[in-house]
Chains A and B, each alone.
Chain A
């Protein structure tokens, strides 16, 4: 909490609240992703909530700190990793059982309503969560970059 704060971004009040809140928002997103097969939610909703935590960091702390926390390159990598996890799970069904996207790891009745149940569904949820989180963050970062570019252009034209 005592790290030096850069001048960009919003006011100190917003930065302090962001420092408290960002971990909880991220944790809530991860909880929604991990428990997607038991409670309402899932990869998409949890990924959007997790992305909103990073969007909050970019908005409150400014672009430099935000991109240091979750850089564009890392976001692109995690984006691809999420899709790959989903596709590998689908392909494993094809390889092991013979049907694309088959749930090849069905759990028996004793595992119902526990976290480690329902085979590949939680793994696919994690993949989709990673994908959606980094995708939306990337879109946000790219759009704000365009916004800054537009603003600097218009300021340059009107001295």
Chain B
């Protein structure tokens, strides 16, 4: 189980590195797609089919949009010197992460892989959702029950973010202006 996950994550890291380092834009986009599909398989192995479905569908749409955006373009990758500051920051981050991991895994209280962190508290919200979710909401899929009943505010925020993103994209990327550009500008505030 853990070995499969480690292999998948290693493949994802290789895909991400290829996506950064390759000079061809098409190869880069395909590598990003591979990373996304591998992430979907990781979700499946972690027993999260909801996330796996969402990740797969979003990855397909993102890949199509990216491919559409770069298809037929003759843009070339710009190779630039890597700045010393970036290398220093990357090394520092890796060192800090390694230090944290060593401290974390040395702790005997650290929960085992796959064991919920909140398992030790009887009254933790996650335990309550799992115990009473079906009776209180009637939804057999506990993920949907949490998303749309217990934590519906988060879903409202997500819908708001999506709505604002679409409104922004529509207003920035529209092709025709509402008013003819030669007309005198009357409403500068709006």
Give Cα distance in the complex from A36 to B147, angstroms: 11
Q: Does A57 belong to the interface (CB within 8 Å)? A: no
Which of B144, B165, B170 touches A121 (beta carbons < 8 Å)?
B144
Q: Does A30 belong to the interface (CB within 8 Å)? A: no
User: How many chain B residues touch A (Cβ–Cβ < 8 Å)?
Assistant: 45
Write the chain A residue with the least CB distance to B54. A45
- B residues adjacent to A (C-beta < 8 A): 49-50, 52-54, 57-58, 60-61, 64-65, 68-69, 71-73, 134-141, 143-145, 147-149, 152-153, 155-156, 158-159, 162-163, 165-166, 169-170, 173-175
Which residues of A sit under 8 angstroms from B169, Cβ to Cβ? 138-139, 142-143
Inter-chain contact A106/B136, CB cutoff 8 Å: yes
Sorted from nearest, which 9 A-B pairs have the closest CB atoms? A118-B138, A40-B49, A48-B57, A118-B139, A37-B139, A101-B152, A45-B54, A45-B53, A107-B138
Give Cα distance in the complex from A159 to B53, angstroms: 46
Write the chain B residue with the least CB distance to A87. B156
Write the chain A residue with the least CB distance to B149. A103
Write the chain A residue with the least CB distance to B153. A101
Q: Mark interface residues in A111-147 (1 if CB within 8 Å of B CB, else 0).
A: 1110001111100110010011001101110111111
Q: Given A101-B152, A125-B148, A151-B72, decide whether A112 and B61 contact each other with a Cβ distance below 8 A.
A: no
Which residues of B sit under 8 angstroms from A119, Cβ to Cβ? 137-138
Which residues of B sit under 8 angstroms from A147, Cβ to Cβ? 68-69, 71
- A residues adjacent to B (C-beta < 8 A): 32, 36-45, 48-49, 51-52, 55, 59, 76, 79, 82-83, 86-87, 90, 101, 103, 106-107, 109, 111-113, 117-121, 124-125, 128, 131-132, 135-136, 138-140, 142-147, 149-151
Give Cα distance in the complex from A107 to B138, angstroms: 6
Q: Given A52-B60, A151-B72, decide whether A142 and B141 contact each other with a Cβ distance below 8 A.
A: no
Q: A37-B145, A143-B65, A150-B73 are in contact. List 9 more A-B contacts (CB 8 A).
A: A37-B141, A41-B141, A42-B141, A83-B163, A101-B153, A106-B137, A139-B166, A146-B173, A147-B68
Inter-chain contact B163/A37, CB cutoff 8 Å: no
Which residues of A sit under 8 angstroms from B139, Cβ to Cβ? 37-38, 117-118, 121
Q: How far is the CB of B168 from chain A (nearest CB, A)?
A: 10
Give Cα distance in the complex from A55 to B140, angstroms: 31
Inter-chain contact B173/A145, CB cutoff 8 Å: yes
Give Cα distance in the complex from A90 to B151, angstroms: 12
Q: How far is the CB of A89 from chain B (nearest CB, A)?
A: 9
Which of A40, A90, A136 has the most C-beta atoms of chain B within 10 angstroms of its own C-beta? Answer: A40
Give Cα distance in the complex from A149 to B172, angstroms: 14
Write the chain A residue with the least CB distance to B52. A40
Q: What are 9 residue pairs bridging A and B, where the CB atoms are less than 8 Å apart in the complex?
A: A42-B143, A55-B61, A118-B138, A128-B155, A131-B162, A138-B169, A139-B165, A139-B166, A140-B65
Inter-chain contact B68/A144, CB cutoff 8 Å: yes
Q: How far is the CB of A149 from chain B (nearest CB, A)?
A: 6
